[in-house]
Structure 1
């Protein structure tokens, strides 16, 4: 709905003074998500000055408001009026009219509006119109007409347009009785996959159709492997398994057979079906003991034994791997995984012994550092603060900490925060405060934000008052320094050390002098926005581009610039709220904070509705197939077509429910919910158990997957900014800076 604000604001700039006041009232109402008030304001335009109302295309905008409000009947005549005029809103109005007719089942009028769109829009509109005309013909039972329209859209070749929905074209040929041409298109689609290592949805659709029409056909080993690879990447593990089992049973002596068995085991592991996975991990070792796949199966199977609670068997197999493959590049994982398994079992003493063995075996290398961090986390989980501090002090001197690239890795910022946290637990408040202040806070700084929150807590501790006041006095003195860097540092510290509005206002004033407005992103210039109506109707692509552009503008802004001195409109460019109406609707229905959904969506897809990741996650909320299917089933949606995940409303609908389900598993633990969204709830349960605490400051360091830990920190930093900028209904807050 923010897009409507842009559209109204753009028109407001060209409006005459006679109705400028009404335009401003409409803008304000939309900003507050008060759609009824905005509709009233626009109706007043129409009654007071209909010629200018139409000239400014306000009828189209009013139709959009009615549609957002769910009043299609009121929107329909307004769209029809807008579609009858030549102008920028015409193709958008025709698009909405065609969709409304489609949803109501009126295929004839849908065709009428789509035919008009062919001559009213640009190339993108025309391509979309042709595709929907083909689908319309297919739904009407005219398969030959569907083929003609779709083939004309692609000009007889598999263009980018046809790749997006070419399986449908092939099916239409099949339905029309032209099996040879339909089969040929499907084969070409597979052969011409742009990236064979990450096959797209068109390729997936093609092999699904081929499998349906080639049941019982002897495909040959190479074709079985090709199709299994496509299915496996797209997380269609059951379908992949059929082809892999064919290779195992028909080509047992082939060099590909061991890897086929291993891939079956991996598929079961991906589905968390570890009992089944273990059968296949053991099978490859029994049948092909000297193969590379058997070595992989030994290592991966060890982890699977741990997942089913068979810790002794898991440790035994890790030891076997260590003894049998002492030069393997993954040797460190056998050691470090054993440490983690022993912690899962609750045997901290044995885990520490394995950590020590790891440090000795990999002295001077990264695995030694990771083992040292494991020891630090063991002491943190046990509340043995002095021992934890000793390990953290040792880690501070290490150059390589693993970061997001190494499982179980850490970062300099995390170590600094944990040191401050431990010092606070030891009641060494002065040192803790200094350490917290040394960690920069800013728009994208998770541990900087956590440090500021911890400082607020320390301010309430009686025994810490002397230390707080001493540092506040020192920071206040720095505001008078002749050195600009000192004044800046003093102002930042003051803001973090006190809630006193007078002192904070003084510090913010100093900051504004130290950080001139010319160095910050400018206030949004409505005139420079790209076509506002495109933002309104094609939110995904344009909002994605706007977000990328905003991030580029902010790239050279220091990370510790507080949001309190930046205009809220500039911040909202960086942290936009597209699809607000749908997000609020489904989030509130499921008891989820819509701002958390926005933070996840921003990190997952950058608001690109057609996003597909390297792990085959799809759409705004980046659902993988298993989670989407499970959530859809819980909502009464059987046999969910994965392509529906590219629909913003479906993605948001499923995302809200899935987050609600995770929230029930981890109540009042936002970091655990976010970690589960990325790394899976089963993994998070183990990490929470290791921390022996519901405290995020003790849980987050336990996150084993580097990508998931990085994800949690980025999402939670974004969530913090979204809470500052928007209320629970995604209405922009008024800030001092604005």
Structure 2
């Protein structure tokens, strides 16, 4: 038992901790703190201190509010850069420099940084020595809770349960670190070893699990609590172990839980023993669901096919198992292999939720496998049997596309007309309208295009990929009908109604074509007043003001200090909570985003603008909003990116546009398909490009290095450019869909103009990606490049 506590007995300290009210988020939601904003260190994307500004008007933007930062000339600058990259050993080595001692002694924040580095580098004794000379409440009040938690961790690592308990108990429930403190407190009490301490540890863990049942450490807490309860309450311990097996079936914790459950066999009920049986359908499905979520598709197929052979024919889990097998084949694009699986669902699972899913996915699978008639049959069953389901209008639209591909235009038109009559507000209505227009274009019936759009009360175009589409093609129909003046006015209307959109970009280029010239990088000079009014040159940005509300927020003060020290992984939780607290105040969110942008926390700052502040893209950039656009479309890694852009003969705008889409400027990100880094390169492509670019000793892990990733990603773009006459749309489509597909599409319908070619791309993901990234390419060109509106050739190169 821990003894001789100064002033406050342990029992009282622990009970006071237990009696403290739950933090607000736990009281209201019974859940963990908000989801993290980014997957890795947010400042990594801006850690270089040697950027070369590539903005068109350098120095014209007013300086935004700043989060304090260490000067590049400071001896701590390289240490903080190491901290940002989690290079703890290097940072710790540099901190041993005797010349830094006076600076550390004079700055409590730097001492806290040194203590954190020592802990992460595996030197908890040094962490304790540093923190023993620091009074957090007096010397570092902003980060007092972080210092206390660090002290508890270090004490626990050096077997000092007494100090660990006191430090963990000092953290208030209002702190975002409170859940972590409870876990450490329970562990420290358990290590104390006396019965009364173990009982208090149980109480602490109960408090934690009641308040934070879905916290990231909940499984560890359950395991710890179950271990403590085995001797006195084996039934409850078994329930906790079974919960771990259910919630984290593929984890090491589940393996340990299984082992402990077998030692508790005498205390298990029959129902619990059944849950422990790995051969049951219930357990097989639990494992399969977990593997499916982790994209272990081959394993799901193998595991469940084997399991199905053992299950009784009437097992209620059979339909879901078949569905997971079918979906796994679909994920792997094994459409022919998936067809018999979906057929089995349709045969054995009629009148269940699985039937509808099998009709939908089976229809799409047959379509992808080339069985159009089979797909039509399944789609028809959807709108006839499940007429009120959201899949019904999808099925009618898909059927129309198939009929159109089979050169059955009259039947396709009838199907689309029926779809719009039955589901005028459906989410596929906008696509049905477009497909009707597409047929009119095929017949050169331009008046039908104009009449169709003019007769619509609303288009239903409500997303990034369709806003302005119908009115753009109405303008195009006027142009092809020889009504040039009307077409020009119609294109101008699209540019005004849909600022900085894909269809506005096309419209500006069409206006330039009407003037008879698209020469040069910037077509604004050709378009004239319509462009000059909406996209003024030399646009300066007004600074984003820092509201008093944000500046006074304790979480903001904590996050600012942590960012200054390079401890972005710690700052992330505070930043997430800030975003949640101020979600309904755009001005405060903009101030936060601006500060994060100034601190080079680009994955977080641009994501705030991109996903959590709404409506700002409904107008062109102005002096008031120009800063908003630069936050949402930042330019990290300027030195490296501009150097390789120049070497490759590429516009920096296209590299930035693809980077924003691929990684959100997070250099450490990895996709489920194992694409890595800023430009999301997969290993085969990266190795091939590395060899061609003369890079020796390439390894896959190097793709997390920003410089190397930009080098290889830009080389791949240069390869695509050489294959596509450097057409931006084709480079973008090739980056997502592969040049082999682009080459096929050029052969199949490359005689079409650019706008129709993009609409014809058969892969929805690549079609939308091309529109989205072309829009970003325009925005980057306007904000930082030489072209307020970049030129797009409507005539595509030969395959």
Q: How does 1:656-671 map to 2 (within 5 A)?
A: 667=724, 668=726
- Cα 1:184–1:679 change in 2 (3 A) is farther
Report the counterpart of residue 412 of structure 2 in structure 1.
Answer: 354
Query: Are the counterparts in 2 of residues 355 and 371 from structure 1 also a CA contact under 8 Å?
Result: no
2:109 is the counterpart of 1:77: no
2:554 is the counterpart of 1:522: no
Quick one: which of 287, 293, 296 aligns to 1:233? 293
How far does the alpha carbon of each residue in 1:59-98 deviate from its partner, in whole angstroms, 9 at most, with x for none? 2125446999999979953685265653333444555566
Report the counterpart of residue 642 of structure 1 in structure 2.
Answer: none
TM-score (norm 1): 0.60
How far does the alpha carbon of each residue in 1:193-218 deviate from its partner, in whole angstroms, 9 at most, with x for none? 6xxxxxxxx77646875799799953
CA RMSD across the alignment = 6.3
- Larger relative CO (CA 8 A, sep 6+): 1 or 2? 2
Instruction: Return the alpha-carbon distance in structure 2 between the equivalents of residues 676 and 132 of structure 1.
Output: 51
Report the counterpart of residue 487 of structure 2 in structure 1.
Answer: 432
Report the counterpart of residue 301 of structure 1 in structure 2.
Answer: 362
Report the counterpart of residue 275 of structure 1 in structure 2.
Answer: 336
Instruction: Return the alpha-carbon distance in structure 1 between the equivalents of residues 118 and 257 of structure 2.
Output: 37
How far does the alpha carbon of each residue in 1:10-39 deviate from its partner, in whole angstroms, 9 at most, with x for none? xxxxxxxxxxxxxxxx98x54549xxxxxx
Quick one: which of 560, 568, 575 aligns to 2:619? 560
Quick one: which of 452, 459, 472 aligns to 1:417? 472
- Cα 1:689–1:254 change in 2 (3 A) is farther
Q: CA deviation at 1:231?
A: 3.0
Instruction: Return the alpha-carbon distance in structure 2 between the equivalents of residues 556 and 173 of structure 1.
Output: 48
- Cα 1:235–1:71 change in 2 (3 A) is closer
- Cα 1:602–1:288 change in 2 (3 A) is same
Instruction: Return the alpha-carbon distance in structure 1 between the equivalents of residues 638 and 754 of structure 2.
Output: 28
- Cα 1:521–1:262 change in 2 (3 A) is same
2:671 is the counterpart of 1:623: yes
Q: Secondary structure at the match of 1:88?
A: helix
Q: Secondary structure at the match of 2:468?
A: helix
Query: Are the counterparts in 2 of residues 597 and 656 from structure 1 also a CA contact under 8 Å?
Result: no
Instruction: Return the alpha-carbon distance in structure 2 between the equivalents of residues 388 and 132 of structure 1.
Output: 75
Quick one: which of 447, 469, 472 aligns to 2:503? 447
Between 1:394-403 and 1:179-188, the stretch displaced more is 179-188
Structure 1: tracts of 5 or more residues without a match: 8-25, 34-52, 102-106, 138-147, 194-201, 463-467, 476-491, 498-503, 610-618, 637-644, 729-738
How far does the alpha carbon of each residue in 1:264-292 deviate from its partner, in whole angstroms, 9 at most, with x for none? 10111022121221231223234445655
Report the counterpart of residue 87 of structure 1 in structure 2.
Answer: 108
Report the counterpart of residue 337 of structure 1 in structure 2.
Answer: 398
Instruction: Return the alpha-carbon distance in structure 1 between the equivalents of residues 683 and 128 of structure 2.
Output: 31
Provide the aligned length of Structure 1 versus Structure 2.
596
Query: Are the counterparts in 2 of residues 63 and 79 from structure 1 also a CA contact under 8 Å?
Result: no
Report the counterpart of residue 614 of structure 1 in structure 2.
Answer: none
Between 1:416-425 and 1:675-684, the stretch displaced more is 675-684
Query: Are the counterparts in 2 of residues 167 and 205 from structure 1 also a CA contact under 8 Å?
Result: no
Instruction: Return the alpha-carbon distance in structure 2 between the equivalents of residues 96 and 421 of structure 1.
Output: 62
Report the counterpart of residue 75 of structure 2 in structure 1.
Answer: 59
Instruction: Return the alpha-carbon distance in structure 1 between the equivalents of residues 380 and 608 of structure 2.
Output: 51
Q: Secondary structure at the match of 2:313?
A: coil
Query: Are the counterparts in 2 of residues 403 and 411 from structure 1 also a CA contact under 8 Å?
Result: yes
Report the counterpart of residue 16 of structure 1 in structure 2.
Answer: none
Instruction: Return the alpha-carbon distance in structure 2 between the equivalents of residues 394 and 55 of structure 1.
Output: 62
Q: CA deviation at 1:253?
A: 0.5
Instruction: Return the alpha-carbon distance in structure 1 between the equivalents of residues 714 and 526 of structure 2.
Output: 44
Q: Secondary structure at the match of 2:619?
A: coil
Instruction: Return the alpha-carbon distance in structure 2 between the equivalents of residues 388 and 136 of structure 1.
Output: 80
- Cα 1:314–1:62 change in 2 (3 A) is closer
- Cα 1:705–1:133 change in 2 (3 A) is farther
Instruction: Return the alpha-carbon distance in structure 2 between the equivalents of residues 600 and 135 of structure 1.
Output: 45
Report the counterpart of residue 47 of structure 1 in structure 2.
Answer: none
Q: Secondary structure at the match of 2:775?
A: helix
Between 1:576-585 and 1:395-404, the stretch displaced more is 576-585
Instruction: Return the alpha-carbon distance in structure 1 between the equivalents of residues 707 and 158 of structure 2.
Output: 26
Query: Are the counterparts in 1 of residues 605 and 631 from structure 2 also a CA contact under 8 Å?
Result: yes
Instruction: Return the alpha-carbon distance in structure 2 between the equivalents of residues 455 and 162 of structure 1.
Output: 55
Query: Are the counterparts in 1 of residues 465 and 771 from structure 2 also a CA contact under 8 Å?
Result: no
Instruction: Return the alpha-carbon distance in structure 2 between the equivalents of residues 653 and 440 of structure 1.
Output: 39
Q: How does 1:171-190 map to 2 (within 5 A)?
A: 187-189=242-244
Instruction: Return the alpha-carbon distance in structure 1 between the equivalents of residues 656 and 213 of structure 2.
Output: 30
- Cα 1:558–1:719 change in 2 (3 A) is closer
Instruction: Return the alpha-carbon distance in structure 1 between the equivalents of residues 158 and 326 of structure 2.
Output: 43
Quick one: which of 321, 340, 358 aligns to 1:260? 321
Instruction: Return the alpha-carbon distance in structure 1 between the equivalents of residues 755 and 43 of structure 2.
Output: 37
Instruction: Return the alpha-carbon distance in structure 2 between the equivalents of residues 2 and 212 of structure 1.
Output: 38
Q: Secondary structure at the match of 2:107?
A: coil
2:568 is the counterpart of 1:538: yes
- Cα 1:620–1:259 change in 2 (3 A) is same
Q: CA deviation at 1:534?
A: 0.5
Instruction: Return the alpha-carbon distance in structure 2 between the equivalents of residues 327 and 398 of structure 1.
Output: 24
Query: Are the counterparts in 2 of residues 183 and 210 from structure 1 also a CA contact under 8 Å?
Result: no
Instruction: Return the alpha-carbon distance in structure 1 between the equivalents of residues 399 and 78 of structure 2.
Output: 63
TM-score (norm 2): 0.56
- Cα 1:678–1:54 change in 2 (3 A) is closer
Query: Are the counterparts in 1 of residues 242 and 257 from structure 2 also a CA contact under 8 Å?
Result: no
Instruction: Return the alpha-carbon distance in structure 2 between the equivalents of residues 231 and 412 of structure 1.
Output: 38
Q: Secondary structure at the match of 1:420?
A: helix
How far does the alpha carbon of each residue in 1:44-64 deviate from its partner, in whole angstroms, 9 at most, with x for none? xxxxxxxxx999992212544
Report the counterpart of residue 221 of structure 1 in structure 2.
Answer: 281
Instruction: Return the alpha-carbon distance in structure 2 between the equivalents of residues 338 and 460 of structure 1.
Output: 41
Between 1:117-126 and 1:358-367, the stretch displaced more is 117-126
Instruction: Return the alpha-carbon distance in structure 2 between the equivalents of residues 95 and 591 of structure 1.
Output: 44
Between 1:690-699 and 1:69-78, the stretch displaced more is 69-78
- Cα 1:253–1:273 change in 2 (3 A) is same
2:184 is the counterpart of 1:152: yes
Q: CA deviation at 1:414?
A: 1.3
Instruction: Return the alpha-carbon distance in structure 1 between the equivalents of residues 148 and 379 of structure 2.
Output: 59
Query: Are the counterparts in 2 of residues 335 and 358 from structure 1 also a CA contact under 8 Å?
Result: yes
- Cα 1:452–1:132 change in 2 (3 A) is farther
Q: How does 1:309-708 map to 2 (within 5 A)?
A: 309-318=370-379, 330-343=391-404, 346-347=405-406, 349-360=407-418, 362-363=420-421, 365-366=423-424, 370-378=431-439, 380=441, 382=442, 386-387=444-445, 390-391=448-449, 393-403=451-461, 411=466, 413-426=468-481, 428-440=483-495, 444-461=500-517, 493-495=531-533, 521-522=542-543, 531=560, 534=563, 536-538=566-568, 542=596, 543=601, 546-547=605-606, 559-562=618-621, 565=623, 571-577=629-635, 598-599=656-657, 623-625=671-673, 631-632=682-683, 649=704, 667=724, 668=726, 692=750, 696-702=754-760
Structure 2: tracts of 5 or more residues without a match: 1-40, 55-68, 137-142, 160-179, 188-200, 263-275, 519-523, 576-595, 688-699, 787-799
Query: Are the counterparts in 2 of residues 691 and 699 from structure 1 also a CA contact under 8 Å?
Result: yes
Instruction: Return the alpha-carbon distance in structure 2 between the equivalents of residues 327 and 571 of structure 1.
Output: 41
More helix by share: 1
